[in-house]
Amino acid sequence: MNRILVKKELAPKIKLIEFENRDIASKAKPGQFVVIQMGEKGERFPLTISGIDPGKGMVRVIFNEVGKSSKRLGALAEGEEIGNVAGPLGNPAEIEKFGTVLCFGGGVMTGPMAYEAAAFKKAGNRVITVIGARNKELLILKDEMNALSDKLYVSTDDGSEGYKGLDFLRDILEGEKVDRVIGMSVATATLRTLCELTRPYGVKTIVSLTPIMLDGTGMCGVCRVVVGGQTKFACVDGPEFDGHLVDWDLLESRKRVYSHEERVSTLLDEQVGKDCASRFQQTRK
């Protein structure tokens, strides 16, 4: 169970892992996520599903190695088992024939966006995809996205490849009728910018939110967001919401709450790892 079948590095600190879990692979739909726990006492952390193969019982995740848990996951090798994986969690994306759908995948979330964009294509939509990253080294899945899209645009924050920033989206929205925009990024500020860009054009913009989560099942309340003036729990009511109704100030401030503790935890984990390694070296002298 949860044995790693394939592991690849897609870009610096961005890993793809395909693992075996027949139950999740038989039920998962685009937009849903899994919660992974590394070891019995490990923190539980969510990753959006980037693809499945029900025949092989395969589930794909793509993740950034940012802190303790994601680095531990990234250190596992093919053939090893991921301790505990719960899912699929959250609601599936609303996949229908809308007409023209613009799919934006920022950074690592290009992975789950590729899975969702393929479903929009299969449902008969014209699919425009936009993949973005901080710089060209961090762009992932360009060929895969190109293959499933009617049109692909590339954008980087520093302009090292494609358009610089997201302002060019205005030209797309002015140039053709877009019926729906979907945005995925772990950078809340990027999704907020996307929503502010689409708002004047009145195009419904659905975004996948990534607030801090604990249980992922609606019990703890940590993932609370406010959408259209109503309190929602992203793990059970989302994670996809109408971006024009999200209270972005609240979401951004809640995401910063644990940043100090996360930094300390990562540093401690790195230090303990170094201490163990140096003690191991000493025993070999």
Binding site for ligand FAD (CB under 6 A): 33, 43, 45-48, 62-64, 66-70, 108, 112, 186, 210-213, 239, 259, 262-263, 265-266
Q: In this complex, which beta carbon is closest to ligand FAD, that of residue 156 or of residue 190?
A: 190
Q: In this complex, which beta carbon is closest to ligand FES, that of residue 191 or of residue 235?
A: 235
The nearest distance, CB 91 to ligand FES, in angstroms, is 13
Q: Are 149 and 126 in contact (CB under 8 A)?
A: no
Q: In this complex, which beta carbon is closest to ligand FES, that of residue 10 or of residue 214?
A: 214
Q: In this complex, which beta carbon is closest to ligand FAD, that of residue 3 or of residue 263?
A: 263
The nearest distance, CB 35 to ligand FES, in angstroms, is 8
Question: Which of residues 206, 213, 227, 246 is near ligand FES by CB under 6 A?
Answer: 213
CA angle (263, 134, 52) in 5-degree steps = 85
Question: Which of residues 195, 235, 246, 251 is near ligand FES by CB under 6 A?
Answer: 235
Q: In this complex, which beta carbon is closest to ligand FES, that of residue 86 or of residue 187?
A: 86
CA 117 to chain centre: 14
Select from 17-25, 176-184, 214-222, 250-258 the region that touches ligand FES (CB under 6 A): 214-222
214 binds ligand FES (CB under 6 A): yes
86 binds ligand FES (CB under 6 A): no
233 binds ligand FES (CB under 6 A): yes
The nearest distance, CB 17 to ligand FES, in angstroms, is 22
CA nearest neighbour of 183 among 174, 192, 175, 172: 192
The nearest distance, CB 246 to ligand FES, in angstroms, is 16
221 binds ligand FES (CB under 6 A): yes
258 binds ligand FES (CB under 6 A): no
222 binds ligand FES (CB under 6 A): yes
Report the 3 state secondary structure along the chain.
Answer: CCEEEEEEEEECCEEEEEEECHHHHHHCCCCCEEEEECCCCCCEEEEEEEEEECCCCEEEEEEECCCHHHHHHHHCCCCCECCEEEEEECCCCCCCCCCEEEEEEEHHHHHHHHHHHHHHHHCCCEEEEEEEECCHHHCCCHHHHHHHCCEEEEEECCCCCCEECCCCHHHHHHHCCCCEEEEECCCHHHHHHHHHHHHHHCCCEEEECCCCCCCCCCCCCCCEEEECCEEEEHHHHCCEEEHHHECHHHHHHHHHCCHHHHHHHHHHHHHHHHHHHHHHHHHHC
The nearest distance, CB 225 to ligand FES, in angstroms, is 10
168, 171, 177, 179: CA torsion to nearest 10: 20
Using CB under 6 A, count the residues that bind ligand FES.
Answer: 12
Select from 13-21, 58-66, 194-202, 207-215 the region that touches ligand FES (CB under 6 A): 207-215
Q: Are 149 and 142 in contact (CB under 8 A)?
A: no
The nearest distance, CB 247 to ligand FES, in angstroms, is 16
Interface residues toward ligand FES, by CB under 6 A? 213-216, 218-223, 233, 235
